[in-house]
Amino acid sequence: MSSNRFATLLNEQIAHEFSASQQYIAIAAYYDGDALPQLAAHFYRQAVEERNHAMMIVQYLMDADLPVTIPGIDGVRNEFANIAEPVALALDQERRVSAQIAALTGVAREQGDFMGEQFMQWFLKEQVEEVSSMSTLLRVVERAGTNALQVEEYLVRENAAEGDDPTAPRAAGGAL
């Protein structure tokens, strides 16, 4: 069974995931307010995804009969100087979450918590995809310069192929 240290870190990760969700809502609202519906929709989806990640961790803790603590979150950034800043912030956030997920996996492995380590494998894969996707989006935004409509067109093309991941852990209350 999972150790208290791993459970403590998982509960901290719930806060990180909810914070990421809130930051993505702030980014989406920024783009929505600037009449960029594709960028807004992209980040609203990202917000739901981060919320679902938090709820997957909640479900794991409940399934493992470990304590669940739903935390408050820190403030989010709401103002940006240009359309690239929010994407750069999102990329930094994804890199930070990747380091957190890797550290969690390391703790599980260090403590011989094979179930915990197995649970974290999906999140490791997810973070590789998230960093890659956000890195690409930042490059597209930077190349578009002041022509945000090119980014909007890119997102229409790229989002057409998205689908749910059937290997994702179950989220408490169901994924949104």
DSSP string of the chain, one letter each residue: ---HHHHHHHHHHHHHHHHHHHHHHHHHHHHHHTT-HHHHHHHHHHHHHHHHHHHHHHHHHHHTT---------------SSSHHHHHHHHHHHHHHHHHHHHHHHHHHHTT-HHHHHHHHHHHHHHHHHHHHHHHHHHHHHHHTT-HHHHHHHHHHHHTT----TTSPPPTT---
Q: Which tens digits make up the pLDDT trace of 122-165?
A: 999 999 999 999 999 999 999 999 999 999 999 999 886 666 78
pLDDT score for 175: 79
The pLDDT confidence band at residue 168, using thresholds 50, 70 and 90, is: confident
The pLDDT confidence band at residue 25, using thresholds 50, 70 and 90, is: very high
pLDDT score for 88: 98
pLDDT average, residue stretch 95-112: 96
